[in-house]
Amino acid sequence: MALLTVRVSGDGVERCPSCGNNTQFVAKSMQSCEDSCEVWVECQCGYDPTADVVGSRFECVWGTLDKDNVEACLSSWNDLIQLNSKQQM
């Protein structure tokens, strides 16, 4: 599994429901099957909104943690946080 610490400006990024952080994340990459990898971001505190949601991780062949992939992951982070907060209302 590959790890990359990501610092972002926080503009347009949802806050972690656990610790309120929206600027420091850990991007992770893990091989999910023979020819594909899953890439996703977790909060610096370890909160991972993709953990319970099948299909919410970004799939790509090499699992590289480049800018485009990290941005795609942050976009699904936003979707999942918004979804979670709606479910709690």
Instruction: Using CB under 5 A, list all residues that contact Zn ion.
Output: 16, 18-19, 21, 43, 45, 47
CB atoms within 10 A of CB 45: 13
Please choose, from the candidates 50, 43, 47, the residue with its C-alpha nearest in 3D space to the C-alpha of residue 26: 43
Contact 64/29 with Cβ under 8 angstroms?
A: yes
**In angstroms, what is the minimal distance from the CB of 35 to Zn ion?**
32
SS3 37: strand
For Zn ion, give the closer residue by CB, 16 or 81: 16
For Zn ion, give the closer residue by CB, 14 or 60: 14
Rounded distance between C-alpha atoms, residue 88 and residue 86, angstroms = 5
**In angstroms, what is the minimal distance from the CB of 46 to Zn ion?**
7
For Zn ion, give the closer residue by CB, 37 or 48: 48
**In angstroms, what is the minimal distance from the CB of 34 to Zn ion?**
33
